[in-house]
Amino acid sequence: SQQGEEDPQALSIQEGENATMNCSYKTSINNLQWYRQNSGRGLVHLILIRSNEREKHSGRLRVTLDTSKKSSSLLITASRAADTASYFCATDAELYSGGGADGLTFGKGTHLIIQP
Amino acid sequence: AAGVIQSPRHLIKEKRETATLKCYPIPRHDTVYWYQQGPGQDPQFLISFYEKMQSDKGSIPDRFSAQQFSDYHSELNMSSLELGDSALYFCASSSDGHSGNTIYFGEGSWLTVV
């Protein structure tokens, strides 16, 4: 079953506005990561937030994590045309107490379009 | 900084043929992951290796196999290719294999099966 679900599936905003994307997941996690993907390109790591963290910032990005609701949000402030891309959350399920290379489970992604 | 290197970047094969994708992780990364992303789909985890041993297994078909070599590079072998195998295949790497480390992705290898 799908671990991560994101909404909205598509978001179109004007340049300069803030964009908020949400992600929900089903199982307990060790951490949650956000990635950006330009069409047909590789996944670029944006930010990792651990299960014991509630909020994290990186430049114009702000990520929150609510483990009680099993949800996370990604906020991009002062959006730019170059932010146009698909954004995925990916979770690392709490399957191992230590060691192991757990595969990430990705959500469906939010396609963000920034209009100039 | 060095990134994850994948080759080839594009590959066209016919049905029932075999294909091999290669992945060179970031230097000093000992963990490699393989993902498959179909058109318009989210990436699906296939398999991972930590210190040259298989670590976690996802939705990898029996027709596919993979291994990690002594220099930590990895190869994904796909046999009896089907049209549905057409996808973007990503390799990713991280250090220590432990949960909590950032996983870095390569640019992917486009496989088209005709």
Q: Do A100 and B99 make contact, defined as CB atoms within 8 angstroms?
A: yes
On the 0-12 / 13-18 / 19+ scale of CB atoms within 10 A, B36 is: buried
Residue A114, strand partner residues: A13
- A88-106 residue pLDDT tens: 999 986 544 344 567 888 9
pLDDT band at A2 (very low <50, low <70, confident <90, very high): very low
Q: What's the gap in Å between the CA of B88 and the closest CA on chain A?
A: 8
Nearest CB to B48 within list A31, A48, A101: A101
Section A35-53 average pLDDT: 92
Tokens of B27: 């230097």
* CB contact burial A89-105 (16+ within 10 A = b; e otherwise): bbbbbeebeeebbbbbb
Q: Do B108 and A105 make contact, defined as CB atoms within 8 angstroms?
A: no
Higher pLDDT: B102 or B83? It is B83
Alpha carbon distance B25, B74 (integer Å): 8
**pLDDT for B111 beyond 70:** yes
Residue of A1, A37, A43 best to disrupt the B interface, most CBs of B under 10 A: A43
- Whole-number mean pLDDT of chain A? 88
Q: Which residues of A touch B42 (CB under 8 A)?
A: 4, 88, 106-109
Q: From the CA atom positions of chain A, what is the Rg in Å?
A: 14
Q: Which residues of A touch B104 (CB under 8 A)?
A: 45
CA distances from A81 to A7, A63, A77, A109, A111 (A): 20, 20, 12, 18, 13
CA distances from B97 to A57, A96, A110, B14, B84 (A): 25, 11, 28, 35, 30
Nearest CB to A99 within list B94, B98, B106: B98
pLDDT band at B102 (very low <50, low <70, confident <90, very high): confident
Percent of chain B residues past pLDDT 90, beyond the cut = 80
Tell me how far the alpha carbon of residue A54 is from its chain's centroid: 14
Nearest CB to A106 within list B42, B94, B99: B42
Interface check for B99 against chain A (CB to CB < 8 A): the answer is yes
What is the pLDDT at residue B98?
57
Section B25-41 average pLDDT: 93
Tokens of A42: 């590789």
- B53-92 residue pLDDT tens: 998 888 899 999 999 999 999 999 999 999 999 999 999 9
**pLDDT for B40 beyond 80:** yes
CA distances from A109 to A112, B27, B42, B43, B67 (A): 9, 29, 7, 10, 29
Higher pLDDT: B18 or A91? It is B18
Nearest CB to A101 within list B43, B44, B56: B56
